[in-house]
């Protein structure tokens, strides 16, 4: 495609994200040829009458093919704007759905995007005479032809929506079973990489795990969660004699997720659910951010706010947002692109964050993750009476067993457990060392 579509961007209201809208448009392969902004959003036409006239002449001047708005519009507002511009109008939601459509690779994300698209279309099928005449056709004798087709279309859309919801619900149940197994301690500790779109999450995953997943400088490159194993390499080679295991290097699994964005269309919350689940279930959440972005602060707070709304209170996210809280790690990526004079600001705002350039080296992040995992686990000496022998079997499923022996009182075990599970076994502890946390 040599000739990309020319887009004219329109934003209204206080919370305008014109630069980001430009990035979204670019991600879809359009070229931005002009911008129009207004501080107050107009109830009937998104921008006021005067601005709509300005829009018409800007369309003439620039030869724009399409008008793109920074907010979702109702069908009638879109129509008002479309009439003024004389060009089709694409709102922010439709734009993001199109990006998701063109980036969806696996079956599940395609289903989710189809669902989002139908939910977006449903309220827009009804309405004015234009929609009716466009649909046309139909042979019912008691009703107008358009009306009959319309009913039919809406019913088809609704049926398809419920079928898709059903399929996605089934998948969700399967994921929940897997999640429960994991929370029971079956399997290695898990780390979720979450963050704003284009922060570098997939690049970080690839670097940590040696995977070769697609990364590109465009928004919403990743639309599905993927999990990879990172081998820790056992105990730290540099351990001094007699050092305890607090700096052991556990294996972990790391999950890459769908990126966040401001004003996320509600229709895409489904696509997003797996990201939120991954974050809710992770032992360590890594909030990744593009340190070189002009919008760094807003991007970080968008991510933290979205996670806070959804995660339960006991989740690792319920700490402060300076990267110092237990359970989540703030990772400032793309440090290679940060201007030297900005480093001071980063120090002040995010003193506890890990800084990396994922293109060259992620070992600092890996060390921090392993440190967090070690902190989330505790080592105990246990004596399990022979009468409770089933407990020993259970421990083999959930703990790392360092040594076992038998005596007349029971089985003696030296184990490392997730702190969240340790309280169940406290009564068998040999010292009175009660695990903290």
Ligand X SMILES: Nc1nc2c(ncn2[C@@H]2O[C@H](COP(=O)(O)OP(=O)(O)OP(=O)(O)O)[C@@H](O)[C@H]2O)c(=O)[nH]1
Which one among 53, 130, 159, 336 touches ligand X, defined by CB under 6 A? 336
Joined tokens for residue 238: 């540099």
Nearer to ligand X, 59 or 204 (CB): 204
Size of the site for Mg ion (CB under 5 A): 4
Distance CA 59, CA 85 (A): 7
Closest residue (Cβ) to Mg ion? 222
Q: Applying CB under 6 A, does 201 fall inside the site for ligand X?
A: yes
Using alpha carbons, select from 268, 321, 297, 279 the residue that is nearest to residue 193: 279
Piece in contact with ligand X (CB under 6 A), picked from 215-223, 241-249, 296-304, 378-386: 215-223
Q: Which helix (H) or strand (E) holds 420?
A: helix 419-422
Measured torsion, CA atoms of residues 45, 71, 308, 221, in degrees rounded to the nearest 10: 170
By CB under 6 A, the residues from 354 to 373 that bind ligand X are 357-359
Piece in contact with ligand X (CB under 6 A), picked from 70-78, 197-205, 297-305, 318-326: 197-205
Which one among 219, 276, 285, 413 touches ligand X, defined by CB under 6 A? 219
Q: Which does 334 bind (CB under 5 to 8 A by kind): Mg ion, ligand X, none?
A: ligand X
Distance CA 38, CA 55 (A): 11
List the x/- string, 37-56, binding to ligand X by CB under 6 A. --------------------
Q: Applying CB under 5 A, does 221 fall inside the site for Mg ion?
A: yes
Distance CA 215, CA 178 (A): 27
Nearer to ligand X, 156 or 343 (CB): 343
List the x/- string, 11-30, binding to ligand X by CB under 6 A. --------------------
CA atoms within 13 A on the CB side of 194: 32
Give Cβ neighbours of residue 138 (< 8 Å, ≥ 6 apart): 145, 146, 147, 148, 149, 152
Strand partners, 400: 416
Using alpha carbons, select from 262, 219, 197 the residue that is nearest to residue 16: 262
List the x/- string, 374-413, binding to ligand X by CB under 6 A. ----------------------------------------
CB of 340 to ligand X, least distance (A): 15
Measured torsion, CA atoms of residues 101, 279, 246, 399, in degrees rounded to the nearest 10: -100
Nearer to ligand X, 191 or 219 (CB): 219
Backbone phi, psi, residue 424, to 5°:
-65, -25
Distance CA 311, CA 276 (A): 8
Using alpha carbons, select from 103, 117, 112 the residue that is nearest to residue 168: 112
Using alpha carbons, select from 212, 216, 120 the residue that is nearest to residue 161: 120
Which one among 2, 137, 177, 217 touches ligand X, defined by CB under 6 A? 217
Nearer to ligand X, 310 or 359 (CB): 359
List the x/- string, 315-334, binding to ligand X by CB under 6 A. ------------------xx
Nearer to ligand X, 197 or 315 (CB): 197
CB of 87 to ligand X, least distance (A): 28
Backbone phi, psi, residue 192, to 5°:
-110, 130
- Report the interface residues with ligand X, using CB under 6 A: 197-203, 215-217, 219-222, 259, 333-334, 336-337, 357-359
């Amino acid at each position: 495609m040599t000739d990309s579509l020319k887009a004219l961007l329109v934003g209204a209201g206080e919370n305008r994200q014109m630069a980001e809208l430009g990035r979204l448009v670019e991600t879809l392969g359009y070229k931005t040829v002009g911008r129009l902004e207004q501080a107050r959003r107009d109830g009937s036409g998104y921008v006021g009458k005067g601005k709509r006239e300005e829009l018409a002449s800007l369309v003439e001047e620039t030869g724009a093919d399409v008008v793109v708005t920074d907010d979702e519009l109702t069908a009638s507002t879109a129509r008002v704007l479309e009439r003024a511009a004389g060009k089709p109008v694409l709102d922010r939601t439709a734009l993001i759905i199109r990006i998701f459509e063109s980036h969806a690779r696996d079956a599940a994300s395609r289903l989710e995007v189809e669902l989002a698209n139908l939910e977006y279309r449903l309220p827009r099928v009804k309405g004015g005479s234009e929609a009716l005449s466009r649909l046309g056709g139909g042979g019912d004798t008691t009703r107008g032809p358009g009306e009959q087709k319309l009913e039919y279309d809406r019913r088809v859309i609704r049926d398809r929506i419920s079928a898709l919801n059903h399929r996605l619900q089934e998948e969700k149940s399967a994921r929940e079973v897997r999640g429960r197994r994991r929370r029971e301690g079956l399997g290695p500790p898990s780390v979720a990489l979450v963050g704003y779109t284009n922060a570098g999450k997939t690049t970080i995953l690839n670097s940590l795990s040696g995977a070769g997943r697609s990364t590109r400088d465009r928004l919403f490159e990743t639309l599905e969660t993927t999990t990879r194993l990172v081998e820790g390499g056992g105990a730290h080679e540099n351990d001094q004699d007699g050092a305890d295991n607090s700096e052991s290097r556990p294996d972990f699994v790391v999950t890459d997720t769908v990126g966040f964005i401001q004003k996320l269309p509600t229709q895409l919350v489904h696509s997003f659910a797996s990201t939120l689940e991954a974050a809710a279930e992770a032992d360590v959440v890594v909030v990744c951010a593009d340190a070189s972005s002009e919008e760094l602060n807003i991007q970080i707070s968008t991510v933290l706010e979205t996670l806070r709304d959804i995660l339960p209170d006991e989740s690792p996210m319920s700490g402060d947002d300076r990267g110092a809280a237990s359970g989540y790690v703030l990772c400032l990526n793309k440090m290679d692109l940060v201007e030297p004079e900005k480093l001071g600001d980063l120090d002040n705002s995010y003193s506890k964050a890990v800084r990396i350039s994922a293109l060259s080296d992620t070992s600092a992040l890996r060390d921090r993750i392993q440190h967090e995992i070690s902190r989330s686990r505790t080592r105990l000496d246990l004596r399990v009476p022979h009468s409770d022998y089933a407990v020993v079997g259970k421990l083999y499923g959930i703990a790392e067993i360092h040594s076992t022996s038998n005596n007349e009182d029971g089985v003696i075990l030296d184990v490392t457990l997730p702190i969240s599970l340790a309280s169940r076994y406290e009564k068998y502890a040999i010292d009175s060392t009660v695990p903290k946390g």
